Structure 1
Amino acid sequence: MTDPTENTPPPATRTHALERLRRFVPIAGRDYAARRNYDLGSQGHPDVSGLSPYLRHRLITEPEVIAAVLGRHSASTAEKFVQEVVWRTYWKGWLEMRPQVWADYRQGLSRVLNDGRHDDRLAAASAGQSGIDCFDAWMGELVTTGYLHNHARMWMASIWIFTLRLPWEAGADLFMRHLLDGDPASNTLSWRWVAGLQTQGKHYIARPDNITRYTEGRFAPKGLVTDAAPLSGPPHPPRRPLPADARPDPGLPTGILLTEEDLSPGFLFDDAQGPILGHAGLMSVAGRSPLPVADPVTAFTRDAMMDARARWSGRMGAPGPLSDDPAVIAAWAVELGLGQIVTPYAPTGPTMKALNMLEAMLSEVGITLIRRIRSYDQAAWPHATAGFFRFKEHIPALLGDILPDSVDKL
């Protein structure tokens, strides 16, 4: 549920996220199930929560959102919304077991950007000059607000791939550069699903009548391809084991490191650890793309980080640097005399890459990087072995872990 007066990205604060959640909860049950597919951008998307930018950075967490909704609705009534929240969890777990898919996407994107064959058509589509009215309007909304309804994302991806015949990697990258909730797992795997690469042989074709219906006549596009073969690609790579949670050493002087992947660090303090001397922030937003990331995305991410640091400053020791350079964080750790840095686990993507670089630097000076995995992720990710419909069989048990006394059977 978004504000129809908003033509710019929303505030990147937990307070704003909680207010959005409060306003959305009353319609999160049957109303949401009936209206969730309607893209009413001109009315401020009144039928969806607009919480994805906050969940993506964990200014608010999945268990918090689900608990709030199930405090008002039964699990069966709120089933569709709960599934939408858990989709992001599923994508993360799926990619975490198959990180080569992210690497392959980035390699494919590099090839597209270097070969130059599509440059003019990519520029036109990216500027909202495709000549397809709905596509161009959504492009304007994306650039202006950093947000798109999920149905519009599917329609755009389908038009990009099958009507405009542009490389899917370039479209996924466009979204990563402009979406406030741009996430390596959700974004990459959703584009692959539309193309027919994720559920291999099954693709998504945007139909004019579907667009007209779910935009309530705002658009009636002409000339869309409605019959196309799915893209082909190699089979999924083998699954790798999921990472194990790491525990801090209670005898070592400790620093806390925040990243944009998880800005609700309270769970880091559940275990005994050494004295917390300070905290720092590592930004990796520029790593979301080899091209410049949109200024609103960078600003939202930085503001979200600052909000989290302000809220938790009393628990995290003296403030240290906020930097996109792992070397700056390593130098801070040495200067502060840390024995370990504790940080929320960052799944596959640019933040993990930055943390891997930092870990190597810290290891050289005898400092340990401890990556803590949330219990929610530990419970959910092992079930992301196949498609979502198999994964969702485990949602009742997952909800039981979140709210053991408040969940009925789905």
Structure 2
Amino acid sequence: MKDTLPADPTFTPTREAGLDRLEAFLPRAGRTYAAERNHDRPGHDNVSTLSPWLRHRALTEAEVAGAVLERFAPATAEKFLSEVVWRTYFKGHLERRPGLWDQYRRAVRAGQDRLATESGMRKGWEAACEGRTGIAPFDDWAAELARTGYLHNHARMWFASIWIHTLGLPWALGADFFIRHLLDGDPASNTLSWRWVAGLHTNGKPYRARASNIAKYTDDRYDARTLGHQLATEAPIPDAPPAPEPGPTPEGDSLPASGRIGLLLHEDDLHPDFLLARGLEPADVAVLIQPQGRSPLTVATQVRDFTRALAEDAATRLDGTGPVTDDPAEIAAWAKGFDHLVAPHLPTGPVRDALAGTELAPLQPLRDWDAAAWPHAHAGYFKVKTKMPDIFEAIAADTGA
């Protein structure tokens, strides 16, 4: 009988489903994860696949790290914990340099202009997006991304490298392709990861995909000899404006001492455990989402549906009767009924952009986890990694444990 491939991972848009996925993964979060994490295998049962919930903070980094540390010593689970903290590092790095998001958005628009005027590049872009390049693993990853809204982290690096260095396509259009299709598409992780592959994040150090590496970590699904003739042997760094200097770390607002409070959740933070632990008692809850704001092109239906359903799940858990909407005007109308509006910190990205053109100015408390990590996210990851013990001390405060 012919062997069948493992089923694609599924992502149910509820916090409960994320907690179930976490519970199922926990026994493998130690040495098993460290040994197998780099392999891109069908079904992806060797990694956590928690990122769609973590991206929206339906699960939080603090509670995931806390659950792992209840089971393993920090040294045993260091590889997995480091990946969790990488997400926080990227978020903090973009908060310290929000101009990188503006640069990226301008680069996407410039890339679109080129697509409109350069027929050869447009044909190459269309072939890459549709998985018709003739480079077997790249085409398979393009199809998997469109089908599932997910890719293994190693595959994302290889894909980005081939997009930039082999196909010669603008890095920002690749980042845009990802953020339109990934269920975990995040302004910080996505933008900065693509910049890293291009050689713009760590100046002068691009990442180049190698045929032998792809063959090894896909368990020889792809022929290294054939790939070796297809992939670029050089990785020139694309032109880009210099990165802005890091700004101050956001300090976060205090909760109001009195009055009727409306809690505004948003797609970047859908589990306000830290606010409830600090004593917040909201009179009502609403949620602002901006999945279509992630790109000037059409965002995949499954991304829009997943984001909305996860937001509705958050409102239901908190007995919210306010709108779950992508329209800031609806939020503004709802907010008139309160003395104060409180939201978890609004990070750089589409939701903050959407509110920038309104009169809404919610108080934005900062999670202790972010406050512990972000001051060190002004350069490379190593400075944050050395502070992991301090970051883990914030788990109890953020989760109310």
Short-chain TM bin: over 0.9
**1:298 and 1:376, CA in 2 relative to 1: closer, same or farther beyond 3 A?**
same
Q: TM-score, normalised by structure 2?
A: 0.92
Contact kept, 8 Å, 2:59 with 2:271, in 1: the verdict is yes
Partner of 2:193: 190
Contact kept, 8 Å, 1:32 with 1:81, in 2: the verdict is yes
May I ask how many residue pairs the two structures share in their alignment?
Answer: 385
Residues in 2 aligned to 1:26 and 1:249: alpha-carbon distance in whole angstroms: 41
Partner of 2:306: 300
- The answer to whether residue 383 in structure 2 is matched with residue 390 in structure 1 is yes
3-state secondary structure, aligned to 1:370: coil
**1:210 and 1:131, CA in 2 relative to 1: closer, same or farther beyond 3 A?**
same
Letter in 2 for 1:62: E
- The answer to whether residue 372 in structure 2 is matched with residue 379 in structure 1 is yes
- The answer to whether residue 30 in structure 2 is matched with residue 29 in structure 1 is yes
Partner of 1:60: 59
Alpha-carbon offset, residue 238 of structure 1: 1.3
Partner of 1:138: 141
Contact kept, 8 Å, 2:11 with 2:52, in 1: the verdict is no
3-state secondary structure, aligned to 2:111: helix
Contact kept, 8 Å, 1:58 with 1:263, in 2: the verdict is yes
Per-residue CA distance 1:334-388 (angstroms, 9 max, x = gap) = 2xx2121111112110011123334x2x4xxxxx521121111111111101101
- The answer to whether residue 248 in structure 2 is matched with residue 241 in structure 1 is yes
Residues in 2 aligned to 1:65 and 1:249: alpha-carbon distance in whole angstroms: 29
Residues in 2 aligned to 1:329 and 1:402: alpha-carbon distance in whole angstroms: 31
Which residues of 2 match residues 265-280 of structure 1 at below 5 A?
265-271=272-278, 276-280=282-286
Which residues of 2 match residues 345-360 of structure 1 at below 5 A?
345-358=345-358, 360=359
Alpha-carbon offset, residue 150 of structure 1: 0.2
- The answer to whether residue 90 in structure 2 is matched with residue 88 in structure 1 is no
**RMSD, aligned α-carbons:** 1.7
Per-residue CA distance 1:101-160 (angstroms, 9 max, x = gap) = 110010011011022222221111100101101000000100000000000000000000
List alignment gaps of at least 5 residues for structure 2.
none
Contact kept, 8 Å, 2:9 with 2:44, in 1: the verdict is no
Alpha-carbon offset, residue 5 of structure 1: 5.5
Residues in 2 aligned to 1:89 and 1:95: alpha-carbon distance in whole angstroms: 10
Partner of 2:46: 47
- The answer to whether residue 154 in structure 2 is matched with residue 161 in structure 1 is no
Contact kept, 8 Å, 1:201 with 1:232, in 2: the verdict is no
Which residues of 2 match residues 61-140 of structure 1 at below 5 A?
61-116=60-115, 117=118, 118-140=121-143
- The answer to whether residue 17 in structure 2 is matched with residue 16 in structure 1 is yes
Q: 1:323 aligns with which of 325, 335, 340?
A: 325
Letter in 1 for 2:13: A
Per-residue CA distance 1:81-120 (angstroms, 9 max, x = gap) = 0000000100010110101111001001101102222222
Residues in 1 aligned to 2:64 and 2:179: alpha-carbon distance in whole angstroms: 24
Q: 2:222 aligns with which of 199, 219, 233?
A: 219
Residues in 1 aligned to 2:237 and 2:211: alpha-carbon distance in whole angstroms: 19
Letter in 2 for 1:139: A
Contact kept, 8 Å, 2:368 with 2:394, in 1: the verdict is no
Letter in 2 for 1:376: W
Alpha-carbon offset, residue 6 of structure 1: 4.3
- The answer to whether residue 362 in structure 2 is matched with residue 369 in structure 1 is yes
Contact kept, 8 Å, 2:261 with 2:338, in 1: the verdict is yes
Residues in 2 aligned to 1:119 and 1:299: alpha-carbon distance in whole angstroms: 28
Residues in 2 aligned to 1:389 and 1:238: alpha-carbon distance in whole angstroms: 18
Alpha-carbon offset, residue 80 of structure 1: 0.5
Residues in 1 aligned to 2:316 and 2:6: alpha-carbon distance in whole angstroms: 28
Partner of 2:181: 178
Letter in 1 for 2:27: P
Alpha-carbon offset, residue 68 of structure 1: 1.1
Letter in 1 for 2:247: R
Residues in 2 aligned to 1:178 and 1:135: alpha-carbon distance in whole angstroms: 15
Partner of 1:365: none
